Structure formats: C-alpha cells, structure tokens
C-alpha cells in the first residue's frame, strides 16, 4: 500500500510517540513499584527489630529461655504477616510460630526468611529466624494506593498523546510541504512550464539544495528549449535565402528571361555549394553536440596538423594579399581526435583570413609556462568588441550580419570550434581591442 509522504510522517511520529510514552509509563510504573516495595520493607524491618528487642528484654529479665511463651509476640508479628522461630545457643528450639505456615493457604507465595542474633550484654543468647511472605507485605490500602498511581500514569499517557497529536500533525505537514512543492514543480516542468522559478519553502539544507538543483535543471531546459526554437528559425532563415536566389534564377532561365550563360550557371553552382557547406556544418554541429560524442583521443603532433592546414591556406592568403606568418614549435604532442583538431585549426585560420582586409595573420604553437601546449592565431583584421567576444561562439551569431553575408559565413564556425574544445576540455581565449585585430588562443 502506497501512502502519501504526509501520512507516512504522521504515522512515523505517532509510532515513535506511542513507543516512547509506553516505555516511559512502563518505567514509571516499575519505579513506583520498586520504591513502594522498598518503603514497605523498611517499615517491615521495624517489626523485626521489635521482635528481636522483645526477646532480648525477656532474656535480660529472666537470664534464661526457660518458660518462654511467645504467644503474644507471635500474634503481634502475625498482624504484620511475620512468623518467627527462636533457637538457643545449643540449637534447641525454644519457640516457633512458623509451624502455622504449613497450613496456610498462602504457601504458594515466596517466603522470605532472615536470621537475627538475640544478645544480652553483647553476648549472643540465641538466634531468631524471622520470615514473611514477600507478596503479602501490602495491606488492602496499599493496594488501593498503588492502583490509583497506575491509573494516574495511564491518564497522563493518554493526555500527553492528545496534547502532542496536533504538534505531530503540524510537524508532518511542515516536513512534507517542501517535498510536495518539489513534486508539483517537477510535474509542471514535465507539462512544459519552464519559466516559473522553483524555490521550495524549506529550512533543511538538503531540501534547499535539491530545490536549487531542480531550478538549475529548469533553467537549463528552458535555455535548451529556447536554443532549439532559435536554431529551427535560424536554419530555415539560412536556407531560405540561397533557395530563393536559386528559385528566382532558375525560373528566370526557364521563362527565357535570362540566358543560361556559364557565369549565371556558375553563380547558381556557388549558391548550391554554399547550401551544401551549410548543411555539412549543421551535420557537424549536431554530431559533436549529440550527448554520445566522445572524442577518440590519440597522441597527435600539433606541428604537423597546423603546418598542413597552413599549406592549404597559402594560395587563399596570397589571393587576398595578406601575409601568413607561421611560427611552429616542433615536437609538441597533444591528446586529441585528429580530424576534430584539424577542423578547429581550419575554422580559426579561415576566420582570421575572412575578417582581415590587410596586414598579416600570425599562426603560432608553443608551450605555455604552465606546461601545456597553446595554438594561437592573431590577425590585423576588424577586431571584436567585448560584447561580441561573449557571443561569437553562439550558433548563427555574426557580427554585423550584412557584412558577413558577403564573406559567406553562417555563424557556425566558432560554435563548432567551441564544441570541439569543450569535448576535449580545452580552453579558448579571445583577445581584441575592438579595432586592430584579434587573437584566438586554444590552451590544450
């Protein structure tokens, strides 16, 4: 049977309360019983002393046990439930009232017996056995008193239960409210409410932490949801423009408005190439971003990868009349998936080329003083503002969108770079004064 957390708390507290109250009343009852028993025995010992002192007085008066008659003393003792047997120093029986016990209906009770010396002038003149049925030390009045005490204990137990019950209910509700709140918040998140802040009304550290974690999860889901929506709109926007151009051009050719000249066909081909590379970049991003992408790490010679990429870029740099300065330190090994490292190098160098109109691009690899490898590309291009530096790694983000449209970028290159670096746990650093060039650094 599944119970709500509130009911579980309530039952648990009730159980604890019942067990502790029962234990307490049991202990109390036992203590009362023992104390009362001890008190009765202390009272009883007075009668033992009286028997002994009467016997000593008798001996002091008669100097012998001859003619001793213990009838009266036996009666007195029996009133208090006691019996005695007097024996002289030779072990001879002088007097006993214990023979009555043989016929007593009380013999099923435990009979307690002790021995006391009977002295005269500090010399023992005999000994007396005094006995009593232990369970018979209580008078009817004593029994009544005991019953009353036990009834009061029971009443206090029930009263405490009644007084504590409302507190228990308040406590269980206090403890279960934050948990119920978190459960409701999680349900709301499942239903799609990702914009209501989660802050459980709790005072316990664990619940506060759980609530904060759930709120972080909510924020990150909301962010992902926004990104997903933004991505869908960005992709359709990016695809629509070249597709419209293609459609218009092709319709014009079919309608005979344009001649299918080699230049026009080349223009159409360029748009198709742009579309193809956009789709390739998107594929690339989704492959790296998928949760199961784990780079296959090997030891890679950084110099080889960077030099190869620089060689393929040489012609493009010459065409744009920009100097490519390469300063490579040989022998640096980095742990990487080689094709992803190459992609990162390509994207950063190609950006440096794209966003530099004159001057030079310097590509370096070296060991940092903290003993890790660094790949660095600095250009003398347009530079980046502090605000742009924060955003350039977002998908589809482009500084001055119209200008970049001419350079052919869709704003995905650096997003791919960031994903590759994150998957390898590398750090990227961007430096720029916003005017005279930019430096990208990857710390391996």
Tokens of 75: 């009666």
Binds ligand ADP (CB under 6 A): choice among 309, 381, 426, 444:
381
Q: Return the number of other C-beta atoms located less than 10 Å from residue 172's C-beta.
A: 20
CB under 6 A: which stretch of 65-73, 163-171, 248-256, 347-355 binds ligand ADP? 347-355
In angstroms, give the least distance from the CB of 440 to ligand ADP: 7
CA distance 187 to 166: 31
Which of 168/384 has CB closer to ligand ADP?
A: 384
Tell me the CA distances in angstroms from 136 to 41, 103, 143, one per residue in order. 11, 16, 11
131 near ligand ADP, judged by CB under 6 A: no
376 near ligand ADP, judged by CB under 6 A: no
Size of the site for ligand ADP (CB under 6 A): 22
379 near ligand ADP, judged by CB under 6 A: yes
CB under 6 A: which stretch of 5-13, 268-276, 292-300, 403-411 binds ligand ADP? 403-411
CB contact at 8 A, 432 and 355: no
Count of all residues that appear for the chain in the document: 444
In angstroms, give the least distance from the CB of 370 to ligand ADP: 25
CB under 6 A: which stretch of 50-58, 141-149, 241-249, 394-402 binds ligand ADP? 394-402
Binds ligand ADP (CB under 6 A): choice among 322, 412, 420, 442:
412
Helix (H, G, I), strand (E, B) or coil at 263: helix
Matching residue, tokens 């950084």 = 302
398 near ligand ADP, judged by CB under 6 A: yes
In angstroms, give the least distance from the CB of 201 to ligand ADP: 44
CB contact at 8 A, 109 and 136: yes
Binds ligand ADP (CB under 6 A): choice among 82, 200, 288, 382:
382
CB contact at 8 A, 178 and 211: yes
CB under 6 A: which stretch of 56-64, 199-207, 215-223, 351-359 binds ligand ADP? 351-359
231 near ligand ADP, judged by CB under 6 A: no
Helices and strands in the chain: count of H runs, count of E runs: 10, 11
In angstroms, give the least distance from the CB of 361 to ligand ADP: 9
Residues 6+ apart with CB under 8 A from 317: 323, 324, 353, 361
Which of 184/401 has CB closer to ligand ADP?
A: 401
Q: What is the CA radius of gyration of the chain?
A: 51
352 near ligand ADP, judged by CB under 6 A: yes
CB under 6 A: which stretch of 44-52, 130-138, 163-171, 405-413 binds ligand ADP? 405-413
Phi, psi at residue 35, to the nearest 5°? Answer: -60, -45
E-strand ranges in 315-390 read: 323-328, 333-336, 360-367, 373-379
Q: CA quadruple 60, 65, 71, 74: dihedral positive or negative?
A: positive
In angstroms, give the least distance from the CB of 283 to ligand ADP: 15
CB under 6 A: which stretch of 127-135, 138-146, 165-173, 392-400 binds ligand ADP? 392-400
Q: What angle do CA 7, 11, 13 make, to 5 degrees?
A: 115
CA distance 299 to 315: 30
In angstroms, give the least distance from the CB of 280 to ligand ADP: 12
DSSP characters over 106-148 = GGGSPEEEEEEEEEETTEEEEEEEEEEEGGG---HHHHHHHHH
Which of 90/402 has CB closer to ligand ADP?
A: 402
Which of 414/442 has CB closer to ligand ADP?
A: 414
Matching residue, tokens 């001996």 = 59
413 near ligand ADP, judged by CB under 6 A: yes
Which of 376/379 has CB closer to ligand ADP?
A: 379
CB under 6 A: which stretch of 120-128, 267-275, 287-295, 406-414 binds ligand ADP? 406-414
Residues forming the site for ligand ADP (CB under 6 A):
347, 351-352, 354-355, 379, 381-382, 384, 392, 397-399, 404, 409-415, 438
């Amino acid at each position: 049977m599944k119970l709500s957390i509130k009911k579980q708390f309530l039952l648990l507290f009730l159980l604890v309360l019942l067990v502790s109250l029962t234990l307490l009343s049991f202990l109390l009852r036992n203590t009362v019983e023992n104390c009362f028993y001890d008190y009765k025995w202390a009272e009883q010992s007075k009668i033992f002393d009286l028997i002994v002192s009467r016997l000593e007085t008798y001996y002091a008066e008669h100097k012998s046990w001859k003619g001793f008659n213990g009838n009266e003393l036996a009666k007195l003792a029996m009133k208090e439930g006691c019996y005695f047997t007097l024996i002289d120093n030779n072990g001879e029986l002088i007097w006993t009232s214990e023979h009555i016990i043989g016929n007593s209906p009380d013999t099923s009770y435990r009979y307690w017996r002790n021995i006391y010396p009977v002295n005269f002038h500090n010399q023992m003149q005999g000994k007396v056995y005094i006995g009593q049925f232990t369970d018979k030390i209580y008078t009817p009045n004593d029994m009544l008193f005991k019953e009353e005490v036990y009834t009061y204990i029971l009443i206090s137990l029930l009263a405490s239960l009644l007084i504590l019950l409302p507190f228990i209910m308040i406590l269980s509700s206090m403890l279960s409210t934050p948990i119920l709140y978190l459960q409701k918040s999680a349900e709301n998140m499942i239903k799609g409410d990702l914009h209501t802040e989660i802050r459980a009304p709790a005072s316990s550290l664990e619940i506060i932490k759980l609530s904060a974690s759930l709120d972080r999860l909510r924020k990150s889901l909301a962010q992902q949801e926004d990104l997903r929506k933004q991505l869908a709109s960005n992709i359709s926007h990016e695809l629509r423009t070249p597709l419209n151009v293609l459609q218009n051009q092709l319709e014009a050719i079919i309608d005979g408005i344009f001649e299918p000249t080699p230049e026009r066909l080349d223009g159409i081909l360029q748009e198709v190439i742009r579309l193809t590379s956009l789709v390739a970049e998107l594929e690339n991003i989704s492959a790296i971003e998928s949760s199961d992408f784990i780079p296959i790490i090997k030891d890679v010679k950084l110099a080889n990868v960077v030099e190869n990429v620089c060689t393929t870029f040489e012609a493009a740099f010459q065409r744009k009349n920009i100097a490519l300065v390469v300063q490579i330190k040989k022998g640096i090994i980095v742990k990487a998936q080689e094709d992803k490292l190459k992609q990162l190098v390509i994207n950063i160098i190609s950006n440096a080329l794209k966003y530099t109109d004159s001057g030079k691009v310097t590509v370096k690899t070296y060991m940092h003083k903290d003993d890790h490898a660094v790949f660095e590309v600095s250009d003398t291009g347009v530079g980046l503002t502090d605000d742009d530096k924060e955003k350039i790694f977002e998908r589809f983000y482009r500084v001055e969108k119209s200008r970049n449209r001419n350079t052919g970028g869709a704003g995905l290159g650096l997003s791919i770079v960031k994903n590759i670096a994150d998957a390898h746990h590398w750090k990227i650093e961007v430096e720029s004064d916003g005017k005279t060039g930019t430096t990208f650094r990857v710390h391996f």
